[in-house]
Amino acid sequence: MKPWRNPKAIGLFLLLVVALGLVLSLPWDPTVFTVPQPNGYDDFLQAAAAVRGGPPDDGSEQAARGLVAVSTGAYALVQAGLHKPCRVRIQVSKEYLDSHQKSLAELKRLTRCLIARGKVAHLEGRTDKAFEAYVEAYEFAHEIGRGGLAMDYLIHLSCKTLVLEHLKQIIPSLSGPQCHEMLAVIGRIEKEEEDPGVVARRLARWQSATFGKTVRLEIWAGKVKQALTTWSLNPFWSLRSELAEAERGHQNRVVGPASAALRARLEAEGIPQR
């Protein structure tokens, strides 16, 4: 029997829709997006502003040295921010997305500045400094997504990808303890990654706080219509699924290969893995 001819299936589907609608209509306190005080994210924004207008990054050695030259003050601010609790500062405002997108672009550029410091150190044969720079860049890339919306989540994955891709270039030069340390850092950071469902729900709270119940109901009605058309609950989980897919791609294409390269380095040197 086809689903739409099965009374039990229809009843179950409608029950799920109603249940989800009730969850959506629960009284939230969506206007409160708390941040720690002091907040490392504020230091990161200041650091990003400090390198605004610097030379473009075309991947060349000259560009890397140019980025390092204009980023001295930014590096100190990043280090200060990494020693504080961090959370994205979300504003309940219709103008927030536009202004925050500009901030995210600057934070991604700052990630490139942090990478440039590692690249220049590697070119100069200072492997220890290059390693320290990449570890710091990776931790920074992780922190800029903490407690944010979907766009923060995607940008921080992109930044972590950039760091690990450059880190892989110096793995043949790393010592055993450095390989162990980097594997531990990767393991810790990836375990701290927020669940995509949490990020999706936070975005829904922000939308509700910013645009009001009417817009939230319009979004919900559209999802219900799509669910009834496709006979699927996927529309209710589409953002969560997209974020989860991005995270899986990051793990499979970047984290896995980088971790494997670090372990291979240990094996080649005959160093026991922990």
154 vs 64: CA distance, rounded Å: 25
Are 89 and 35 spatial neighbours (Cβ–Cβ below 8 Å)?
yes
Q: What whole-number percentage of the chain has pLDDT above 90? A: 63
137 vs 126: CA distance, rounded Å: 17
120 vs 137: CA distance, rounded Å: 14
Residue 165 confidence class, pLDDT cut points 50, 70, 90: very high
Are 50 and 77 spatial neighbours (Cβ–Cβ below 8 Å)?
yes
44 vs 147: CA distance, rounded Å: 15
84 vs 25: CA distance, rounded Å: 36
The DSSP secondary structure of 42-76, one letter per residue, reads HHHHHHHHHTTT-----SSHHHHHHHHHT-HHHHH
Higher-confidence residue: 218 or 128? 128
Q: What whole-number percentage of the chain has pLDDT above 70? A: 79
pLDDT of residue 1: 47
Which of 26, 27, 28, 30 has its CA nearest to residue 207?
Answer: 30
Are 177 and 231 spatial neighbours (Cβ–Cβ below 8 Å)?
no
Residue 5 confidence class, pLDDT cut points 50, 70, 90: low
46-80 pLDDT tens trace: 999 998 777 777 778 898 999 999 898 999 999 99
20-50 pLDDT tens trace: 565 555 544 446 789 999 999 999 999 999 9
Query: Mean pLDDT for the chain?
Result: 86
pLDDT of residue 126: 96
Q: Is residue 143 over pLDDT 70? A: yes
pLDDT of residue 29: 47
Residue 105 confidence class, pLDDT cut points 50, 70, 90: very high
155 vs 141: CA distance, rounded Å: 9
| Phi/psi-derived region of residue 157, left when phi > 0, alpha when psi is between -120 and 50, beta in every other case | alpha
Residue 127 confidence class, pLDDT cut points 50, 70, 90: very high
Q: Domain extents for the chain?
A: 40-201+238-268
